[in-house]
Amino acid sequence: MDDLLADFVAETREMLEASGGEIVAWEADPSDRARLDTIFRFVHTVKGNCGFFDFPRLEKLSHAAEDALADCRAGRREADSTLVSAVLAIIDRISEMIDSIEAGEDHPEGGDDALIAALNPHPDVPGMPSAEPHKSSETTQVTAASPAEGKADAAPKAARGASVQRTIRLPTELLDEVMKGVSDMVLARNDLARRLRDAGDHPQIDGPFDRLSTILAEVRSSITRMRMQRLEHLFSSLPRLVRDLSTELGKQVMVDFEGGEVELDREMIEMVRDPLTHIIRNAIDHGLEGPGERIKSGKHEIGLLKFAARQSGNQITLAISDDGRGIDADRLAAKAVAAGIYSQAEIDEMSDRRKHHLIFEPGLTTAEKVSSVSGRGVGMDVVRANIEHVGGSIDVTTKSGEGTSFHLKLPLTLSIIAALTVGSGGQRYAIPRSYVEEIVFGSSDHVDFAEAGDRRLVTFRGKRVPCLALGEILGSEDPGSIDWATMTLVLVRMASNDVFALAVDRVYDHEDVVVKPIAPAIMETGLYAGTTLLDDGRPMMLLDLPSIAQKYRLIDEMRSMARTLPEEEQTEQRKARPVMLFTGLDGRRRAVRLELVRRIDTISREAIDIEGSRKQAVIDGAIFSLLGLEYGELPEGRCRLLRLSDGEHEVVYAVSEVLDAADMDGEIVPSSADPAVEGVTLIDGEPVPVIDGHGLFAAQDTARKTGRTASCRLPANSDWARTILEPLVEAAGYRVSTEAEEETDVAIELVDDDLRPASPARHVIRLRPEPEPAENDDESIYRYDREALLSALKRARVEKTA
Amino acid sequence: MNDLLLMCLIAGRRAAIPAARVQSVIEIDQITPIPGAPDFILGLTAMRSQALTVIDCQIALGFGGQEPDSDRRAAVVQVGGHSYALLVEEAYDVGEARSEPIEVPGGFGRGWQMAARGMVETDCGPTLLIDVDVLVAGPVARAA
């Protein structure tokens, strides 16, 4: 919350600074409409932000000023010099209060009412609260003196505030410059590395060179971090805002976030924070219906507000969707006519879509009544102005009774994106990884190709999706001559949830790439979103998937809204766990939990080194422990490896073939016969052993952690605890003890263990044999609920170190 | 008028690019093609950590393509914040303009007329002064 408060203070200050000139200009000419709008926006924004925090006095002041200014905007009142000075007095008071907030002090009480009363067209006529006559007379002085006084007051406070701050502000150009310098350095290093390799072994040079590489990598990542921030940072502040607003308005709202990992320029995040707040306000106030109305129209009583962010090339798209009543185009149009913005004749010529865009006109709203939250028709025009100011765009799609979505497109001048590099026609191309859902080999048994007219379809796991070859899109290959079975299919999911398959010659690697803009003439092709440099310095094009999908008409904008809900319900009902199916070296089918699989590697047999019980594989210059050899011999030539990761350590697991990904929706029947197997599950009616990822990592020498290892006591007399629980607990970083006397950090006990030993432990975790908890039992954990158990263990360890 | 010019050969004709616009002259060895891009854009090439859009001046002027040559030189220019490599047949030296660019009755012929700012006198004789901005826009943009 402190962060947010600091943001609020900084933002309000910036606005105060920026509007300083406007205020002076307005004073000179109170009838200047443009100045009036600017000042109106300022107080409106302050009011909005106050609702977010608990600053009733600020809110009251800004609301009053907003009211008076709204009257002027609507022509109900003439802006005269009395009003100007009253508004200016309020703005000065806001500035003082902001100083107090930053310094963590209370602003001296009183005076607010007089300031508000001064806004009244006839200040000396009754209308002022009569309860505090003495106070108001005293504070009228404050009004008159406040500009000068405020300044004198604010200066020392600001100085104090500055000494607390431990951050500095830098122009982003400087960061860009440094970033570019580091990118150049990386390329120079790669060049040097190539030359060193060609020149053979130079032990004297290699050491320092490696050190240089490490430092360079660190510097590069810190510089990147300087500029980037995850969108999560912005998202994390929204649930609270939504909660407060919905409580205030008597509505129930559920929020859903997607794409919090998308990174955005820090500056850009600050730019969208405010517009986003406005959109949320509008959505909750006007978009979503009350619970009663929702039930009547057959919707779930809880409204849904969904935020989805995607990165596409050098653009971020942020969609804010609600499932409310939608925008009433006709009513909006009627208001536009009433407000004199458009004539009826102009409205009659408009399409519905055009009418919906009226929402961005200044001074227009669909709200029947003005609430304290929004209304009065400000908001969307301000939102659009702000978004366009940063070079973005905003669009709205709505369907009556089904909901509204706002699509924000934000530019990204310099960005690093996670990309998948693919090959086509001997060239490499990059695809933003956020779109990639899955990669499948065309040769796989589960993939069928079909044709419907000229559209090629691929059937994969029961779904038929359109399939395009990259070579065909780029015009370098004739679709008729493509041997589909040799292609690799990249399943792409667009922001609208439409899926299509992109057939490429091969998939190379995951890479973080720096995207640079491309020349307009290349942009016009609609195929590319940017360019990036490969490690060897060669340029590579970044594909613009949204525009390609649009070109081939693979996106259906409206359908996506309707489909989001049922899908979410499905996931709630069915807790399917994704697994990857493969055949081991003995040719038998096995499965591994998909979360463990980081990637699939194919390496030559020479890169594998086996000596006695030491088995290792070398991939990209790193050594990995090699597992899975107990089932058979490695093939000569090329070996397929699954690279498994527990988040900290990586091992590779030899397989003979990677089959498919599948959902494991049934239960896992544990098996203690084979320690390498977690249990057996049914996939498509056939039993498949699931390898025990925790067992694999536990067997590795991973205990090289510093500090004292936390200890955990397991029930001494249980085979289950020894075979199943022990490896899991060890994998979680605990030393296992079965000594009844030893005082351990954690003890795990079984609920059905009647003889509960009273031996000492700081934390006790109790496991029950049934999935459902017994009555009066709300803390035990089902013994195969791995996630719950691991998180309990993790919690215990964190508490221990804290 | 003592403007410096980069003297070069485009489509067999003597041409000049204002030296103030030219950041450097590079030799191009590798070009990454961009499928789907207009003909006059040969692809991208890298100069340090910068990607340059390679433009074949001959095609951009509306003539046929150049024979791929092992030793191709290009002038690096910036237009609208983007960097381009203008591929020329030959790049000679930097020379001085001896006159203002002037029009010639009857024009300079198809292609040249659009992309030339006029004719200037130089020590090597009359030379066409290339308008970089027009050249970069390509023949497609000019037709539109």
User: What size, in residues, is chain A?
Assistant: 802
In the chain, the amino acid numbered A149 is E
Chain B interface, Cβ < 8 Å to A: 30, 32-38, 41, 44-46, 48-51, 53, 80-82, 84, 136-138, 140-141
Chain A contact set for B30 (CB, 8 A): 538
Q: What is the DSSP string of B14-65?
A: EEEEEGGGEEEEEEE---B--TTS-TTEEEEEEETTEEEEEEEHHHHTTPPP
Cβ neighbours of B141 in A, within 8 Å: 521
Contacts of A187 in chain B (CB under 8 A): 48-49
Residue of A nearest to B137 (CA): A521
CB contact under 8 A, B41 and A180: no
What's the gap in Å between the CA of B46 and the closest CA on chain A?
6
* Contact partners, residue A318, CB within 8 Å, separation at least 6: A231, A272, A276, A307, A308, A309, A407, A408, A410
Over residues A260-273, the pLDDT tens digits come to 888 877 767 877 88
Nearest residue on chain B to A540, judged by CA atoms?
Answer: B32
**Dist. CA A105–CA A98, nearest whole Å:** 10
Q: What are phi and psi of A78, to 5 degrees?
A: -90, 135
pLDDT score of B70 more than 50 = yes
Interface mutation target, options B82, B133, B142, chain A, most CBs of A under 10 Å: B82
Query: Which domains are seen in chain B, by residue range?
Result: 4-143 (2.40.50.180)
Helix, strand, coil share of chain B (percent; to 5): 15, 50, 35
CA distance A546 to A526: 9
Minimal Cβ distance to A521: which of B32, B41, B50: B41
Chain A's closest residue to B30, CA to CA, is A538
Using CA atoms, how far apart are residues A129 and A110, in angstroms rounded to an integer?
13
Residue A187 to residue B35, Cβ atoms within 8 A: no
A521–B34: do the CB atoms touch at under 8 Å? no
Taking alpha carbons only, the member of A583, A671, A592, A579 closest to residue A635 is: A583
Q: For position B76, what pLDDT does the model report? A: 92
Pair A733, A758: CB distance under 8 Å: no
C-beta atoms of B36 and A525 within 8 A: yes
Question: If we measure between CA atoms, which residue out of B18, B11, B65 comes closest to residue B38?
Answer: B65
Distance from CA of B53 to the nearest CA of A (A): 7
Kindly determine whether residue A187 and residue B32, on different chains, have CB atoms separated by under 8 Å: no
Distance of alpha carbon B16 from its chain centroid, rounded? Answer: 8
SS3 string of A114-141?
Answer: HHHHCCCCCCCCCCCCCCCHHHHHHHHH
| Cβ–Cβ below 8 Å for B35 and A527 | yes
For chain A, the residues whose C-beta falls within 8 A of a C-beta of chain B are: 180, 183-184, 186-187, 425, 427, 473-476, 516-522, 524-525, 527-528, 531-533, 537-541
Q: Which of B30, B36, B136 sits opposite A474 (nearest CB)?
A: B36
Residue in A516, A524, A538 closest to B30 by CB: A538
Q: Give me the amino acid identity at B15.
A: A
Give SS3 for B77: strand
| Cβ–Cβ below 8 Å for B51 and A539 | yes
Residue in B45, B48, B53 nearest the CB of A519: B53
**Phi, psi dihedrals of residue B3, rounded to the nearest 5°:** -65, 140
Q: Which chain B residues are within 8 Å of A474, Cβ to Cβ?
A: 35-36
The verdict on a CB contact (< 8 Å) between B32 and A537 is no
Measure CB to CB from residue B32 to each of A516, A524, A538 and give the nearest one. A538
User: Residues of A with CB below 8 A from B80's CB?
Assistant: 520
In a mutational test of the A interface, the residue from B40, B45, B50 whose CB has the highest number of chain A CBs within 10 Å is B50
Cβ separation B51–A475 shorter than 8 A:
no
Residue in A473, A474, A539 nearest the CB of B44: A539
Residues of A in contact with B82 (CB under 8 A): 517-520
Q: Do A541 and B32 touch (CB under 8 A)?
A: yes
The confidence score (pLDDT) of residue A558 equals 35
Min Cα distance B60 → chain A (Å) is 12
The pLDDT score that the predictor gives to residue A134 is 39
* Chains A, B: CB pairs < 8 Å: 73
- The CA distance from B90 to the nearest CA of chain A, in Å, is 24
pLDDT of residue A429: 92
Best of A190, A538, A542, A548 to mutate (most B CBs within 10 Å, chain B): A538
Q: Kindly provide the residue ranges of all beta strands, DSSP E only, lying in A620-754, ordered along the sequence.
A: 622-627, 638-645, 650-655, 657-664, 669-670, 677-683, 686-691, 710-713, 734-737, 744-750
Does residue B50 carry a pLDDT above 60?
yes
Q: Locate the chain B residue with the closest alpha carbon to A530.
A: B51
Strands A436-441 and A577-583, by their bridges, are unpaired
Query: Which residues from B are below 8 Å from A527, CB to CB?
Result: 35-36
C-beta atoms of B41 and A517 within 8 A: no
Residues of chain A with pLDDT below 70 are: 1-3, 18-21, 24, 122-167, 224-225, 267, 313-314, 363-379, 388-392, 411-417, 495-497, 535, 555-576, 647, 665, 672-673, 699-709, 738-742, 752-760, 774-778, 798-802
Cβ contact A519–B81 (<8 Å): no
Give me the residues paired with residue B24 across strands.
B76
Q: What pLDDT does residue A163 have?
A: 42
Contact flag A427-B81 (C-beta cutoff 8 Å): no
Looking at the partner chain, which of B36, B45, B48 has a beta carbon nearest the beta carbon of A187?
B48
